[in-house]
A = this chain, B = another copy of it.
């Protein structure tokens, strides 16, 4: 019997941080060697980080990445780790066209050993790879102590044909894939089913190592795994955590032995955790240690504050209550309760005197006067951000952003919008899940994510409750005029969110929406709101575009489309 030991190194890289990424690879290789691994597999574009977008187009950056790969191979060799086969991703250059390539290399015996370039360059949704890279055109089989390892990079297994089809006839023993696959709700199962098909196609186990961590407006969930040619799941790494798992491949066995299989997460926990990791990593990678936000007493700002506390600790959150003449006592109490629950700094900055000062000069009415209140709050949030070096986070949810129910330069102010891709009904569900987790003992920072120790329960919550129940249960209101309710301007959220999902995420047109069973008045209202909001976002292209979850990149529509359909 011959056994080949693989180490699946699911790590969190940072775009552009060649030194830090290489140091992390070296560290994981030491651990892999200590566990007697022969092959260590890292995620897509390990050394450069992913997605690197136009950074790939800089010749000097590509040269630096190449130098770093060689330096890393030499370091492995000089540390006595040269016998390892280290599979890492990086950026290469196509000699003919001088265009960048999305490349897999193997570090072995002190040198950069073999190269494979990604064939299929995704160019849809959040991906723009065809724009940046030249495509590879050759498959590669690696001989490791007599075992034949095929390789592929991410999208290469999502498309029929190409390198996997080429490998199908080549009697490989294992298909090693390196991935930078962003999180989407429900994607775990999609990936697994896909991998089962490819494993069957090449008649060999498939190793799927995925990146983990937040990068810009994407979250990578990890969840690496191994699946056998007959579809049996042989290993699954945790989501949202860095991880090193060993899996032994027996070259002579008909059926492989399984390694640890991490159970799936509850869907609400999964989404909440993705949002928190996105924010935490965004802050870490951009040098922020604290956040500031307005606390209105409503559910959106309460959930975002809770996420911020879970990401960086309540002591690093500055909540600002900015009541106006229209703010209810209940709202003020709810904001104060939330801040106390999460242990945040809490300041009260009334806006009425400032509002009156502006109105003395401007004498605004209607929506202009409503926007003025929101913009004064935006100025205050940015004053905290500037004077204390805090990241301002925007608290808008997907329903209100889709319908334009927010003020540009007002409540839309912020550098990161943790719940931008959560519909309002999802905001309520996720909030209830967090309170349930708190009741079950999960304190602040108790999530299993990159940077947290596994199994910690977090700092205790004062009353065992995270988000005030009143914030979840009361009718949503912007409180910009007396008695205002969201439902004055929008359909009820239960209905609105179903229409939004169909119109935005499934691109249903008007006729499709009517066939879906929605009534004509609702359909026309929602379409008008969404189209107008989209136009306004482009007109003032200044709403929060940075988003925690990539449930789908914003639809890219032109500004002027007088008669779309």
Chain A contacts to B: CB under 8 angstroms: 14-20, 49, 51-55, 57-61, 64, 123-124, 128, 130-131, 215-216, 282, 285-286, 349, 353-354, 357-358, 360-362, 364-368, 371-372, 375-376, 378-380, 382-383, 386-387, 391-392, 408-409, 413-416, 507, 509-512, 535, 538-546, 555-565
Tell which of B349, B354, B379, B559 touches A286, judged by Cβ atoms closer than 8 Å: B559
Minimum CB–CB distance for A152 against chain B, Å: 22
The winner among A20, A380, A392, A562 for most chain B CB atoms within 10 A is A562
How many whole Å from A498's CB to the nearest CB in chain B? Answer: 20
Given A130-B123, A563-B17: A353 in contact with B357 (beta carbons within 8 A)? yes
Q: Once bound together, how far apart are the Cα atoms of A556 and B127, in whole Å?
A: 13
- Which of B361, B365, B375, B415 is A540 in contact with, Cβ under 8 Å? B415
The interface residues of chain B lying within 8 Å CB-to-CB of A376 are 379
Q: Bound complex: CA of A538 vs CA of B423, how far in Å?
A: 24
The 5 closest A-B pairs by CB, nearest first: A16-B561, A60-B509, A368-B386, A17-B562, A285-B560
Q: Is the CB of A564 within 8 A of B383?
A: no
| Chain B residues within 8 Å of A415, by CB | 539-541
From known contacts A128-B131, A545-B541, A546-B538, infer whether A560 and B60 are also in contact, taking CB-CB under 8 Å: no
Contact partner of A51 among B349, B387, B558, CB < 8 A? B558
Q: List 27 A-B contacts (CB under 8 A).
A: A15-B561, A16-B562, A17-B563, A19-B562, A51-B558, A53-B558, A54-B555, A59-B507, A60-B509, A123-B123, A123-B130, A124-B131, A215-B560, A216-B560, A285-B562, A286-B559, A353-B360, A358-B383, A368-B387, A371-B382, A375-B379, A382-B409, A392-B540, A409-B409, A415-B539, A415-B541, A416-B539
Contact A560-B53, Cβ < 8 Å, known A286-B539, A380-B362: no
Query: Is the Cβ of A55 less than 8 Å from the Cβ of B375?
Result: no
A16 with B558: CB separation less than 8 A: yes
On whether the beta carbons of A557 and B286 are closer than 8 Å, the reply is: no
- Knowing A16-B564, A383-B364, A541-B544, say if A216 contacts B558 (CB, 8 Å): yes
A379–B57 CA distance with the chains assembled, in angstroms = 39
Contact between B375 and A565 (Cβ–Cβ < 8 Å)? no
Partner of A558, one of B20, B49, B382, B416: B49
- Determine if B509 and A58 form an interchain contact, defined as CB atoms under 8 angstroms apart: yes
Contact (Cβ within 8 A) A349 B361: yes
Bound Cα distance A100, B556 (Å): 15
Nearest-CB residue, chain B, relative to A408: B382
Interface centre among A17, A19, A509, A564 (most CB of B within 10 A): A564
Known A386-B368, A409-B382; contact A15-B558, beta-carbon cutoff 8 A:
yes
Q: How far is the CA of A378 from the CA of B53 in the complex (A)?
A: 32
A556–B382 contact, CB under 8 A? Answer: no
How many copies the complex holds: the figure is 2
Distance to closest chain B CB from A87 (angstroms)? 23
The residue that A131 contacts in the complex, of B60, B123, B543, with Cβ under 8 A, is B123
Whole-angstrom distance between the alpha carbons of A286 and B563 in the complex? 12
Distance in angstroms from A19 CB to nearest chain B CB is: 6
A387 to B391 CA separation, bound complex (whole angstroms): 31
Q: Are A60 and B565 in contact (CB under 8 A)?
A: yes
Contacts of A541 in B (CB 8 A): 415, 542, 544-546
**Residues of the B chain whose Cβ atoms lie less than 8 Å from the Cβ of A563:** 16-20
B52 and A507 contact, CB distance less than 8 A: no
A362 in contact with B383 (CB, 8 Å): yes
| A546 nearest CB neighbor, chain B only | B541
Query: How far is A409 from B358 in the complex, measured between Cα atoms in Å?
Result: 17
> Are B361 and A386 in contact, CB atoms less than 8 angstroms apart?
no
CB neighbours of A124 from chain B (8 A): 131
**Chain B residues whose C-beta falls within 8 Å of the C-beta of A17 in the assembled complex:** 560-563
A556-B382 Cα distance, complex, nearest whole Å: 25
Contact of B123 with A560 in the complex, beta carbons under 8 Å: no
Instruction: A53-B558, A123-B131 are known; give 10 further A-B pairs, CB within 8 A.
Output: A15-B558, A19-B562, A54-B557, A60-B509, A123-B123, A215-B558, A216-B560, A365-B387, A375-B382, A414-B540
Chain B, residue nearest A553 (CB): B54
How near does chain B come to A159, taking the closest CB pair, in angstroms? 13
In the complex the two chains form, is A364's CB within 8 Å of B386's CB? yes
Whole-angstrom distance between the Cβ of A522 and the nearest chain B Cβ:
18
Most buried by B among A215, A366, A545, A559: A559
Checking B51, B57, B354, B391 against A507 with a beta-carbon cut-off of 8 angstroms, the contacting residue is B57
**Nearest CB on B from A30, distance (A):** 22
Are A361 and B354 in contact, with the CB atoms below 8 A? Answer: yes
Contact status A564-B55, CB under 8 Å: yes
The residue that A55 contacts in the complex, of B216, B409, B511, B561, with Cβ under 8 A, is B561
Cβ–Cβ contact A564 & B61, under 8 A: yes
- Docked-complex contact A54 and B16, CB < 8 angstroms: no
B residues in contact with A413, CB < 8 Å: 409, 542
Question: In the assembled complex, how far is the CB of residue A214 from the closest CB belonging to chain B, in whole angstroms?
Answer: 9
User: A57 CA to B565 CA in the complex, in Å?
Assistant: 12
How many angstroms between the C-alpha atoms of A557 and B15 in the bound complex?
10
